Structure 1
Amino acid sequence: MYRRLCRAGSVGGSGGNGTAVASLAVPASRLRVGDLVVVEKGQRVPADLVLLRTTERSGACFVRTDQLDGETDWKLKLAVPATQKLASDADVFSLGAQVYAERPQKDIHGFVGTFTRTDGSGGEESLDVENTLWANCVVASGSALGVVVYTGSETRSVMNNSQPRSKVGLLDMEINQLTKVLFCAVIGLTLVMMCLKGFSGPWYRYMFRFILLFSYIIPISLRVNLDMGKAFYSWSIQRDPEIAGTVVRSTTIPEELGRISYLLTDKTGTLTQNQMILKKLHLGTVSYGAETFDEVAAHLRTAHSQCQSLQTSEGGGTTPSPLRLTTTSPSTAPLSLGSAATSAKLRRSEVTRVQEAVKAVALCHNVTPVYEGHNGSISDSENTEESHETEADQHSRQNVVYQASSPDEVALVKWTEEVGLALVRRDLVSMHLRTPNGTVLSYTILQIFPFTSETKRMGVIVKEEQSGEIVFYLKGADVVMSGIVQYNDWLEEECDNMAREGFRTLVVAKKSLTEEQYMDFE
């Protein structure tokens, strides 16, 4: 059952223009194109929707699409700006607008449409796949209000359904071949016996008698016994404590597991169940493992304490931190391998390099923190930076949930929190980090370059509000980043070493930009 918003009627007399709006719980089968539907957190989307409003002030909404594409990562969806900025859901009824949607198709990664205001209050806004909620997705954060654009057989999920392929094991095919051989043997023995007896008299009666007598050669009960055995094997696999959580989806081919010689998997997530943990941090000249991450936290505390002391001694705290990296090379300086790496040209202290590496990891992502007990994320606050610090202190590390479209990014942000640099607030235009000494660093998000399978990298340009420094952070696969960052003689070697240890490697880099360089980019 889903909540459908409906106009209850006008109020205030014949001259009034107020509208009473009520929500009605209806089954998904009763939804029609143009209906307004409210989907709560944890509910499955009943039809293909264009997202109009969310409980997040920024208009962001995370959904799970494992029933569509098999991916357990959360996907970020954005509400239409024209409707998100309305005061309440009831104002949608007083809005004059129309939605254009392309004809139904199977592609779940693409959508072309427009949202047009017809009341003269705005223009036309383009819609893409980020503004849609496909049927069978699950809303993972807050609640969402959307307008139905496709229903029934025209939804993406139904159009991508196909008849399941019938799986036949090699043993079944061998039994089929053996049955054919035994049947031929029955016919052969029958002909031999007929030749010995002769074909005089009612010979055809004797032939059928011999066929019936020799038919016991074919084991009719063999297949029934095999099916019972397969059912027992499947039950044993699901009950095996060494592989707890295993689900047998086909009871016809469990014996095929014993014939496997090579196991081919599409990606690491299939084997790791998307449970990612940062294991190693390499900075070019020094490497930190899980057992030495305490040193990283200590270096980070030292760096921020020195920075705070310097700002206090100079008064006002408006001087840029002396620990920040400045690079004049046109190439991007590599900061991390496996998580972060350092520039070989700039000889800095180990404390400074650790600080820059951790900050790069803490800023280059698309992660949003959400605190339990709130109707949305902490980014809903509109307070000043001073109140951000107070708000961050009100939440403990136990009640924060990080939302992202990739488990890799969640693992990286959790690691930066463990070493002392925590993400406390994030929206579409700003990001706030809490340092080990409790202060909050505020950054303005200028540009985001999302990850794609073609580029194999993700980037973000941020501006530190206190110092005004503009920095471009970039992360991606080592095969791609090696051709972008400044040349060094250890990057490829260390990537190979980590790959041989079974690690998933990631290179993170940074480049400081001047105001003129960024304006040229704009």
Structure 2
Amino acid sequence: VGDVVLVKEDESFPCDLILLSSSRDDGTCYVTTASLDGESSHKTYYAVQDTKAYYTEQEVDSIHATIECEQPQPDLYKFVGRINIYMDNEAVARPLGSENLLLRGATLKNTEYIYAVAIYTGMETKMALNYQSKSQKRSAVEKSMNAYLVVYLCILISKALINTVLKYVWQADPNRDEPWYNERTDAEKQKHILVRAFTDFLAFMVLFNYIIPVSMYVTVEMQKFLGSYFIMWDDEMFDEELGERAVVNTSDLNEELGQVEYVFTDKTGTLTENNMEFIECCVDGHVYVPHAICNGQVMPGAAGMDMIDTSPGPEARVSAA
């Protein structure tokens, strides 16, 4: 914090900065914040009035000033602060607003260079404060495997429990003791029956652990990893105009590609919460909403997804989705 940063055209801002000067005579610069809010249009930001005429590193280094600003908060469009510039032993105070603040992650455009001072860094930047950890997506195959694993685990526990009970039923007859090569010592026989039963239960769990296919997960992960390379090597997915091949960002959902029927995206090209919910659609002039949605709200306990035509007129239709 407090360091002066030089940022050149098409470079991203490393932290939240207050614009001091730019290569433009009016002290403005153009910035795109597509990575922050999805807006690709260029936004204009303004340098501090008393420092916008400083174009060289030596001039910027000669500035004596202090900056007072609010505590870090996640609102991208709100900022309140003040800069005190000391000239001839007199402090000149200038207000600072969101039009002076360059956010981390934004990119400088149509401006050769700018000088700015860092005010928020690290986890105190607005970009970091707006960060939300994304839940890992799981494919249908992986969900099925996890469900089957729970079933196999229940079978394993049940089998070990049944065998433990049958063992003590068998040994209830004094003539049916364990064979000589597995005979217990006197100290083991003096242990409480619950301790011995628990030990035997664990022993049967180890004996029957092959029921759970541990290697299956390794095999599936290896298949996904190698499958992602086959996608990148596929000549039918090669873009001749751009000269680029398909790029696999994650191999967790390879098998889901064959299940995709429709692709939807919001108008800005980004999903701020990485979650899209279906509200309504318009087909051939008819607006359809699910049964589960009433006045824009999801009705609790509604499991149906039948579509209702809400368009006025006698041509309203009902279809099932």
Cα distance 1:186–1:104, how it changes in 2: closer, same or farther (>3 A)? Answer: closer
Query: Deviation per CA, 1:2-23, whole angstroms, max 9, x where unpaired?
Result: xxxxxxxxxxxxxxxxxxxxxx
* Separation in 2, partners of 1:94, 1:254: 57
Report the equivalent of 2:252: 252
Report the equivalent of 2:232: 238
Query: Deviation per CA, 1:424-457, whole angstroms, max 9, x where unpaired?
Result: xxxxxxxxxxxxxxxxxxxxxxxxxxxxxxxxxx
Query: Deviation per CA, 1:284-338, whole angstroms, max 9, x where unpaired?
Result: xxxxxxxxxxxxxxxxxxxxxxxxxxxxxxxxxxxxxxxxxxxxxxxxxxxxxxx
Query: Deviation per CA, 1:34-87, whole angstroms, max 9, x where unpaired?
Result: x32222234332332111111112322223434444555543322223322357
Structure 1: tracts of 5 or more residues without a match: 1-31, 271-522
* Separation in 2, partners of 1:142, 1:76: 14
Q: Which amino acid aligns with 1:114?
A: R
> 1:138 aligned to 2:107?
yes
Q: Which amino acid aligns with 1:175?
A: M
Name the SS for the 2:135 alignment partner: coil
What displacement does 1:95 show?
Answer: 5.3
Taking structure 1 as the reference length, the TM-score comes to 0.39
What displacement does 1:193 show?
Answer: 9.8
Report the equivalent of 1:221: 215
What displacement does 1:142 show?
Answer: 0.6
> 1:199 aligned to 2:199?
no
Cα contact 1:194–1:206 (8 A) shared by 2: no
Name the SS for the 1:82 alignment partner: coil
Name the SS for the 1:250 alignment partner: coil
1:316-355 matches, cutoff 5 A: none
Report the equivalent of 2:130: 160
Structure 1 range deviating more: 100-109 or 207-216: 207-216
* Separation in 1, partners of 2:208, 2:58: 81
* Separation in 1, partners of 2:55, 2:213: 75
Query: Deviation per CA, 1:187-238, whole angstroms, max 9, x where unpaired?
Result: 4455279749952134969877765554433322211111111112322333
Name the SS for the 2:19 alignment partner: strand
Report the equivalent of 1:394: none
* Separation in 1, partners of 2:137, 2:201: 38
Report the equivalent of 1:370: none
Cα distance 1:258–1:86, how it changes in 2: closer, same or farther (>3 A)? Answer: same
Structure 1 range deviating more: 164-173 or 195-204: 195-204
1:66-215 matches, cutoff 5 A: 66-69=34-37, 71-86=39-54, 90-92=58-60, 97-119=65-87, 124-140=93-109, 141-189=111-159, 191=162, 195=166, 198-200=169-171, 201-202=177-178, 212=206, 214-215=208-209
What displacement does 1:125 show?
Answer: 4.1
Report the equivalent of 2:264: 264
* Separation in 1, partners of 2:204, 2:118: 69
Cα contact 1:49–1:150 (8 A) shared by 2: yes
What displacement does 1:145 show?
Answer: 0.7
* Separation in 2, partners of 1:206, 1:132: 68
Cα contact 2:23–2:55 (8 A) shared by 1: no
Higher normalized contact order (CA 8 Å, seq sep 6+, divided by chain length): 2
* Separation in 2, partners of 1:175, 1:253: 14
Cα distance 1:148–1:185, how it changes in 2: closer, same or farther (>3 A)? Answer: closer
Identity %: 31
User: What is the Cα-based RMSD across aligned positions, in Å?
Assistant: 3.8
Cα distance 1:207–1:125, how it changes in 2: closer, same or farther (>3 A)? Answer: closer
Taking structure 2 as the reference length, the TM-score comes to 0.59
Query: Deviation per CA, 1:460-492, whole angstroms, max 9, x where unpaired?
Result: xxxxxxxxxxxxxxxxxxxxxxxxxxxxxxxxx
* Separation in 1, partners of 2:64, 2:163: 90
* Separation in 1, partners of 2:213, 2:84: 71
* Separation in 2, partners of 1:228, 1:77: 49
Q: Which amino acid aligns with 1:199?
A: W
Structure 2: tracts of 5 or more residues without a match: 172-176, 179-195, 239-243, 271-321
Q: Which amino acid aligns with 1:130?
A: E
* Separation in 2, partners of 1:86, 1:131: 16
Name the SS for the 1:52 alignment partner: strand
1:50-61 matches, cutoff 5 A: 50-61=18-29
* Separation in 2, partners of 1:225, 1:87: 60
Cα distance 1:238–1:111, how it changes in 2: closer, same or farther (>3 A)? Answer: farther
Q: Which amino acid aligns with 1:225?
A: T
Cα contact 1:53–1:89 (8 A) shared by 2: no
Q: Which amino acid aligns with 1:41?
A: E
* Separation in 2, partners of 1:86, 1:218: 70
Cα contact 1:51–1:145 (8 A) shared by 2: yes
Query: Deviation per CA, 1:143-202, whole angstroms, max 9, x where unpaired?
Result: 101122223332223333344433333322321221222233344455279749952134
Cα contact 1:48–1:133 (8 A) shared by 2: yes
1:362-373 matches, cutoff 5 A: none
Report the equivalent of 2:280: none
Report the equivalent of 1:503: none
Cα contact 2:163–2:204 (8 A) shared by 1: no
Cα contact 2:39–2:268 (8 A) shared by 1: no
